[in-house]
Structure 1
Amino acid sequence: MPVLAANPSPEPEAEAWQPEVDAAQPEANAAAQPEPKEVAALTPELDTPTPTQVEVPKPEKKKEPKPKLEEPLSEGGEGTAANREGKGGLRVVPFGRVFARVSADEREQYARSLSIASARVGLAASLPHVEAEVTADLSSKSLLKDAFVRVADEQKRLRLYGGQFKAPFLARELESAWRLPLIRRGLVADYLEDTHNLGGRRLGLMGEVSIKEAWKLKVSGGVFQGTKDDDTGIRASEDASLRATVRPFKILTLGASTYFAQAFEGARTYALAADAVLKLGGLEVTGEYVNGHLPTGPFAAQMGLASYTVPLLLEGLAVQPVAGAEMMQLLGPLKARGYAFVGGINVLYSEHFKAQLQAEHALRPGDPAAGFEYSLQLATRF
């Protein structure tokens, strides 16, 4: 008994008492929850993320189109870039071109002829209201080609030319030799200018009026030095010339011109011309009609020309097929006629080089019979 009393049997351990907490009492529930231990030491500190710098790609610069090579004033240019942009200060621009030609003519038993058709160099100078140009042709007997000064108002509406330059007559003659798709200007222009001295380069004084609001109307008129007689050396009295052009549509230009030899002494030799130019994309069609009176009597002439410029894959390279026809009739006591048909293809590269291959079948004034002529011309300019 004493032993049993000293070693009582073990009783089961009671579960730890936990107070009953009503779920509806959040405050009591929160108080009953054990306080969380600090875990700062257990979790690594996360650095505040710094915003990454995103490189914004720079916008690509658009390639500016290369400025076109400026045409000299004598070749139909409207002026230097300095004047067109209204910038002040003197600017002097050199320019030049070389045309090398080889031809074979049926009327000369296809004898090959190699020549430098043109080797011109010149300087063009400009101020805000004044422009000047001097051009020399190293391949010609008459070295000086153009030498003149042009004065204009601020809006370029009124211009005054003085010096030696082309008279405003015959659209074919006024066209730039570089832009003209033909190797030669043609029998009509050659016959009127070279044989009868109508138009061409002369010493003179000319005024020009431009009104853009009236279909881009341009009127040019002037007085020019008369022709010098080769036998007597006596120079005739002054000639006069007038030309007007309008552009009723963007694709169409219409013009009319006239030239009077010895204008102040009756003008027994004169010519009147009307022309039209149609430009539609790469297609360009020109036509011109001329009539008048020569020392041989009345005459009439017609000219037509068509070309189509086709760009190729290589930038700046293009081909240009060309076809043209012209006819001339002498209607006086000495009756005669002439004609020419020309066709070929031009290869153009940039604005600095071109190659022209053309064939012509013509009956020129003075020729006993018609014949073929084949020509190849290489040209470059700067």
Structure 2
Amino acid sequence: MGEGRWGEKGRRGLLATVLLLGMPAWAEPEATVEPPKPEPGALEEPLSEGGEGQAADEKKKGPQVSAFGRVYARVSADEREGYERALSIPSARVGLSASLSRLDAEVTADLSSKNILKDAFVRVSDKHKRLRLYGGQFKAPFLARELASSWSLPVMRRGLVADYLEDTHQMGGRRLGLMGEVSLKEAWKLKVSGGVFQGARNEELDTRASEDAALRVSVRPFKALTVGASGYLAEVFKGTRNVAVATDATLSLGALELSGEYVNGKLPTGPFSAQMGLASYTLPLGLEGWAVQPVAGAEMLQLRGPLRARGYGFLGGLNVLYSEHFKAMFQAEHALRAGDEAPGFEYSLQLATRF
């Protein structure tokens, strides 16, 4: 593979892997994989990944501080690169969260990333957790696929559509910003999140664009179904140059989970639309804590402006899960991504652990 494929990023991620995998087995209690709801004692998601935080537990009194972390180690072989094997540590994350009455805070770093700081924010809530105010760096409320915890996603990557919007056109993702949130459990678990965020940075000119805005609304009309809509406006105070809106739905029927999202908008390349779909089924093996999870997904991206183009991705895979702490994922994808001259296959194996 060579030093170029590994580099400093790989060494830092490998160090985190050794440290986390070397922790004693009693570091966390076991939790049985029982979709879609974890059993008592299972790990809570961090605030930055959609978790509620320790302050949501009214029985706990006084300050609550906890540490969390995860490591993903991946090897892949891509047809477009002659099936050359590539070993990487896509995530080696550690963080601290603290809760005190109506105040929560979280700081998260990723040792495998060039930009180590991922999340750093404070959240203030009212007594009943209906009103919340976030300040700092965190995910903008746009795209259900992007907001989902990477641990709970049954696939290794968020997909070519999310990558194209966030990485190529800098719409959504983690930003410095200020966001308000309203949650009304009695009204179909209505949640409305909206805020103003730091604009995109132009690395070549060393300048930063005007502020962006993002909004998401979701409801849960019954236990099995969640539907939502989100939007992102770039440079909102200067006439909104780029805009994207999305609708999404997730259906959970016991071990079966289906999700879909449709996105439409305008980019510098012109109008675009995209579709994403995922299906997974979690099947316990009869051994305590163990389960297998077959998964299938599809994505489509259409650019309809002067630069007409399309992209797509089809994937299938199988995950092996143990408790809330470990999973092994095998995935095969046939895709035509942005910048590809021709479609190709990629095969990936990922081992993941968290605490």
State TM-score, norm by structure 2. 0.88
One-letter amino acid of the structure 1 residue matched with residue 292 of structure 2: V
Residues 260 and 271 in structure 1, CA contact (< 8 A), matched pair in contact too: yes
One-letter amino acid of the structure 1 residue matched with residue 51 of structure 2: G
One-letter amino acid of the structure 1 residue matched with residue 195 of structure 2: G
One-letter amino acid of the structure 2 residue matched with residue 99 of structure 1: Y
Higher relative contact order (CA 8 A, sep 6+): 2
Higher gyration radius (CA): 1
Matched with 2:43 is: 69
Shift of 1:346: 0.3
CA distance in 1, matches of 2:224, 2:40: 24
- Per the alignment, in what secondary structure is the counterpart of residue 207 of structure 2? coil
Shift of 1:66: 4.3
Equivalent residues in 2 for 1:154-165, closer than 5 Å: 154-165=127-138
CA distance in 2, matches of 1:91, 1:286: 34
One-letter amino acid of the structure 1 residue matched with residue 52 of structure 2: E
User: 1:271-316: per-residue Cα shift (whole Å, max 9, x none)?
Assistant: 0000000000100000000010000000000000000000111111
CA distance in 2, matches of 1:187, 1:319: 25
CA distance in 2, matches of 1:378, 1:270: 36
Runs of 4+ with >2 A deviation: 85-88
User: 1:106-132: per-residue Cα shift (whole Å, max 9, x none)?
Assistant: 000000000001000000000010000
CA distance in 1, matches of 2:174, 2:270: 24
Q: Does 1:88 align with 2:61?
A: yes
Residues 86 and 128 in structure 1, CA contact (< 8 A), matched pair in contact too: no
Structure 1 residue runs of 5 or longer lacking an equivalent are 1-64
Shift of 1:339: 0.2
Matched with 1:276 is: 249
Q: Does 1:266 align with 2:239?
A: yes
User: 1:188-216: per-residue Cα shift (whole Å, max 9, x none)?
Assistant: 00000000000000000000001111111
Residues 87 and 128 in structure 1, CA contact (< 8 A), matched pair in contact too: no
Match of 1:237 among 210, 214, 237: 210
One-letter amino acid of the structure 2 residue matched with residue 96 of structure 1: G
Residues 83 and 127 in structure 1, CA contact (< 8 A), matched pair in contact too: no
Shift of 1:85: 2.2
CA distance in 2, matches of 1:341, 1:371: 11
Percent of residue pairs bearing the same amino acid type: 75
CA distance in 1, matches of 2:263, 2:82: 33
Shift of 1:88: 2.6
Matched with 2:156 is: 183
Matched with 2:219 is: 246
CA RMSD of aligned residues (A): 0.8
One-letter amino acid of the structure 1 residue matched with residue 49 of structure 2: E
CA distance in 2, matches of 1:349, 1:254: 29
Q: Which is richer in strand?
A: 2
Q: Does 1:365 align with 2:338?
A: yes
Residues 237 and 265 in structure 1, CA contact (< 8 A), matched pair in contact too: yes
CA distance in 1, matches of 2:94, 2:349: 22
How many residues matched?
A: 317
CA distance in 2, matches of 1:214, 1:249: 11
One-letter amino acid of the structure 2 residue matched with residue 78 of structure 1: E
- Per the alignment, in what secondary structure is the counterpart of residue 118 of structure 1? strand
CA distance in 1, matches of 2:277, 2:212: 27
CA distance in 2, matches of 1:164, 1:335: 35
